[in-house]
Amino acid sequence: MTEIRHRTVATNGIQLHIAEAGEGPLALLCHGWPESWYSWRHQLPALAAAGYHAVAPDMRGYGRSDAPKEIDRYTVFHLVGDMVGLCDSLAAKQAVIVGHDWGSIVAWTAALLRPDRFRAVVGVSVPFFPRGPMPPTQMFKAVAGDNFMYILYFQEPGKAERELEADPTRTMRMLLYSASGSVPRDQGMRAGIPKTAGFLDALIEPPKLPAWLSESDLAYYAAEFARAGFRGGLNWYRNFDRNWELLAPWSDAKVTVPSYFIGGLRDAVVTGPGGTEPGPMVQMMPSFCSDFRGMRLIPDAGHWTQQEDPGATNKALLDFLATLT
């Protein structure tokens, strides 16, 4: 079995903990919220076996990496800068960058801003979409109305932290289950709850853990958030409007490097709530990328795509990487 090695490296003025495997061209794996390098535990050995130096950091604010206190130190410029600095620390002129969930936003933006450093990009769960016509929180308020919307709930510092950190094991158990493809189709995450609700009010307590998530997996996540807290990851959400302002010079710009998308058809991010086919943003994505090389939609996978179906995810990744010269 391929060994996964751990160390801490300096990048962009902070220290990042990384998990790595293999030797060869660099492939960076950026996790989302609320996760860690551990989200890529199935991909690290597969990429290493294919001849890549696979590296999965605990992203800024997570796990054993540094977590600055200031909210404005979690902009997408900081997050992309961390990945550029990580390439420098690993003595790599270029990398393939892969992202899941919020990590997809980092990966797509890295490819958009620095095609000289990121020679190809894969988004998992979250497609590339261009800068919108208004600040994101204004759009979210207009769409949500009087209903609960988690991104708006996350905006007030301390509020979500108190709820999520009260019992990290329960938080992670409910969230990992509720957003997965393991939930029966008639028991999805609750919609239409009032905006006065809490985040966990929309989630489901699983009768048992799904097959893709072991008790030791859950324990690892819970221990990481019990130690580091949720504030770092939540601060990413608190920069949505600031990111919108920062990215103004790249309005309507396309991703020019080879690109690919992987998503689960049980993921509401991909299909929309209750949907069974890819939603408009996924369907329009090829028009936003000048070298889009396809997508793999996994029938029974939910939001935690690479953990729920690592076999299909790994095959899709390796098939795409084989198209690169």
Whether 97 and 118 have beta carbons less than 8 Å apart is answered as yes
Query: Which one-letter DSSP state was computed for residue 154?
Result: T
Task: Supply angle C-alpha 291, 307, 81, rounded to 5.
Answer: 50
DSSP-assigned beta bridge partners for residue 255: 289
Answer yes or no: 17 catalytic: no
Residue 21 and residue 44 in contact, taking contact as beta carbons nearer than 8 Å: yes
Tokens of 188: 């999805």
CB neighbour list of residue 93: distance below 8 Å, 6 or more residues apart:
87, 117
220 CB-near residues (< 8 Å, 6+ apart): 36, 38
Rounded (10°) angle between helices 102-113 and 76-89:
70
**Using CA atoms, how far apart are residues 287 and 323, in angstroms rounded to an integer?**
20
- Of the listed 101, 201, 252, 300, which one is catalytic? 101
- Annotation marks residue 6 as catalytic: no
- Residue 36: closest CA among 56, 9, 6: 56
CA 157 and chain centroid, separation: 21
The encoded tokens of residue 197 equal: 């609700």
> With contact defined as beta carbons under 8 Å apart, do 124 and 262 qualify?
yes
How many Cβ atoms are within 10 Å of 276's Cβ, its own excluded?
Answer: 10
Q: How far apart, in whole angstroms, are the C-alpha atoms of residue 318 and residue 158?
A: 41
Catalytic residue among 66, 78, 303, 309: 303
Cα–Cα nearest to 64, from 107, 20, 9: 9
Give the active site residues: 101, 303
